[in-house]
Structure 1
């Protein structure tokens, strides 16, 4: 069993294995959406977006739905955990507040990762490569939304920077 015999799953998109056709990635993204597996949907659409050619309207919408839902559930989780953390602090339950704080930090890490991934896709490929005005507006609004999401859970200078970036995207 050498390293050349490693079996690689064919249905998992990865920049290392982009051999799956665009059509198959789009189909799997739709299937993932029906199964409410939005992280996987986002991965399939990331592969499509990284392929280099401009996304069609349907593909653009699939990308948007995938990331919106992947982030949406975590934003809801963050709000709940933050609320629990504050309640525990106000009740004087320092141990529980610390545990909730650690959990909130974990959710923030996931949010940062997902938002960072879609922002990189948008800013390094999709926005510069947008041919028509409609697609550029769509992508700029998406970028503004993800910076706004980052601003929701960030503090201090990071919050200000994310809010300013969101405003700039919306103004563009």
Structure 2
């Protein structure tokens, strides 16, 4: 399939709310090893955001139910829920690894403008953060470290290449502060970062 056709089909899939197919089409576009347009970049982001967002929401609901059943001492239900939660976690990990692979192999290397560099490093930080949300032990630490590194890289470029009011720079500051708050449990650092930006 050609590049233009893949872009068109991604837009069509978005209209039809078929986000898995939107992802597949945008992966073709992203693998062409060229600088994506703003529209193409946003299509890629929307595709993955919807695919991961649905599963993150499912994971939160199932985790909450698991905690309630655990507190009631319903062990047989807890065992079933745990298995179901792990199934969702496997899907989450696959999606995150998928986009991180595309970012590392194609998009970051092909990025020419400051704006696209910030966009992709931020995206890398976001998807490592999503992995850290449910990972445990060493896996969690590795994901958190990679997320921190990506957000720092994005911030470095943003501070030199983007205006303080640039939407991508503001979005980065917001997500980076969420990372400090939720993943590193550093509310002070999170507030400091957010205040600096806003």
TM interval, short-chain normalised: 0.7 to 0.9
**Greater mean deviation of Cα atoms: 124-133 or 57-66:** 124-133
Which ranges of structure 1 fall in alignment gaps of 5 or more residues? 1-19
Aligned to 2:114: 133
Residue from 135, 143, 146 that aligns with 1:162: 143
Note the aligned Cα RMSD (angstroms). 0.8
Q: Which residue of 2 aligns with 1:94?
A: 75
Q: 2:46 aligns with which of 54, 65, 73?
A: 65
Distance apart, 1:53 and its partner CA: 2.0
Is 1:107 aligned with 2:88?
yes
CA distance in 1, matches of 2:49, 2:145: 21
Match of 1:148 in 2: 129
- What is the TM-score normalised by the length of structure 1? 0.86
Secondary structure in structure 1 of the residue aligned to 2:129:
helix
1:133 and 1:126 map into 2 onto residues whose CA distance is 13
What is the rounded CA distance, in whole Å, between the counterparts of 2:76 and 2:124 in structure 1?
Answer: 37
Q: Which runs of 5+ in 2 are unaligned?
A: 154-198
What is the match of residue 123 of structure 1?
A: 104
Residue by residue over 1:25-84, the C-alpha shift from the partner in whole angstroms, topping out at 9 and shown as x without a partner, is 111111111111111111110011112222111111000010011000100000001111
TM-aligned CA deviation for residue 131 of structure 1: 1.1
Is it true that 1:40 corresponds to 2:21 in the alignment? yes
- Equivalent-residue separation in structure 2 for 1:105 and 1:32 (angstroms): 28
Give the total of aligned pairs: 153
Displacement after TM superposition at 1:86 (Å) = 1.1
Q: 3-state DSSP class of the match of 1:121? A: helix
Greater per-residue helix proportion: 2
Moved over 4 A (4+): none
- Taking the aligned partners of 1:78 and 1:100, their CA distance within structure 2 comes to 11
Distance in 2 separating the partners of 1:48 and 1:125: 10
Aligned to 2:127, the other structure's residue is in SS state helix
